[in-house]
Structure formats: C-alpha cells, structure tokens
Amino acid sequence: MKLYYSPGACSLSPHIVLKEAGLSAELEQVDLKTKKTKSGADFTAINPKGYVPTLTLDNGKTLTEGPAIVQYLADLKPGSGLAPAAGTFERYQLQEALNFISTELHKSFAPLFNPATPDDYKKVAIGAVSARFAAVDKELGKSGAFILGPQFTVADAYLFVMTTWTGYVKIDLGQWPNVKAYSGRVASRPGVQAALKEEGLA
C-alpha cells in the first residue's frame, strides 16, 4: 500500500490509523499547490481530485476519501478495535461521527485556510467551527475518553487532526475543556506520536 499525504493535512488521520493498527505502507508526500509528489509524479494522474489522502493498494485499486480509507484500514485489522464490526449499530455510530467530522467540522475550516477569504467571512467561518467544537465538547463530556466511549477508533484519529488545526487559525482550544483534554490524550498515544514524527510535526 501507499499513502499519499501532506504534512498536517487531513491525511494525518489515515497515517495515524496505519500506526495504531500496526500496518505498514509506503508514504509519498504531495505538494498540494503544484500537485506533484515528492518523487516528481503528477498527483492528478493518481487522484484526479487533486487532494489528499489517497491510498493506492497493491492490486492497483485506489481509495480517495479519508472516512472510507480509515474504515478500510481498520477492517484490515479487525482485532485492533479501531472500528466496530460491519453491520453493527456501533459501526453506524462510527460512520455518523466520521460524517459529522467530515461535513460539519472539516469543511468549516476550509475558508480559514484560503488566503482569498475576506476577513468578514472568516469571522463567520470561525463561528461555524466554534459551534461544532462546542457540540463535540458536550459529547465528550458524556462519552468519556474518546468520541464513541472508552475505545479509541478511527473517528478519533480524524477528530484529533481537526483539533490540531485550531492552532493554525488562532482558535483557542481552551474554551472547550473537554476537547482540549481529549486532544492531549490522543496526542500522547505512541501511534499518534509516530505519525506526527514521520510528518515532521513533533
């Protein structure tokens, strides 16, 4: 397998899952501005969407969306506990969490990373991100250590990446005590530390 990534981007989520599951994969860094890989390949020939993460399999098949990739990786190691068994209610709860993070939280950050976004709209975007984190903070107050309870799952790998983005856009994570404590718990995991180090982030 090969994971195409950009340091600190949402591709950090499947990178963490690889480490947590004890899976090995080749890593290929992508310059998202030039759409070139570190080896000089045209990334759009690999993923026409032009963004990470992208996972290519040994059989030539490709997956391109983070929530799909992390579930695929978790299912390669079902004993890891990174995803509940397919068909169970708990698996649908995992998908619910992944969808929320992807569509409500992740996408709310997009205007804040775009230098062309007007300042007035950035305030709106910060309000949207803040509202989502406030909801997560309440959920973590009920669920405990991780987003779905005591077990670390692929949803936590994704949510953790979102918490790291707050520093880049000057949002104080401390206004949500449960989220801040959660981010610290996840960051301390050996698998997470290994992925951060490989991306030059720790």
Q: How far apart, in whole angstroms, are the C-alpha atoms of residue 202 and residue 198? A: 8
User: Could you tell me the two tokens for 136?
Assistant: 């997560």
pLDDT of 200 reads 97
2-81+191-198: what CATH class? Answer: alpha beta
Q: Looking at the predicted structure, is the pLDDT value of residue 20 above 90?
A: yes
What is the residue extent of each domain of the chain?
A: 2-81+191-198, 89-189
Q: What's the topology of domain 89-189?
A: Glutathione S-transferase Yfyf (Class Pi); Chain A, domain 2 (1.20.1050)
What is the rounded average pLDDT for all residues in the chain?
97
Q: Determine if the pTM surpasses 0.75.
A: yes
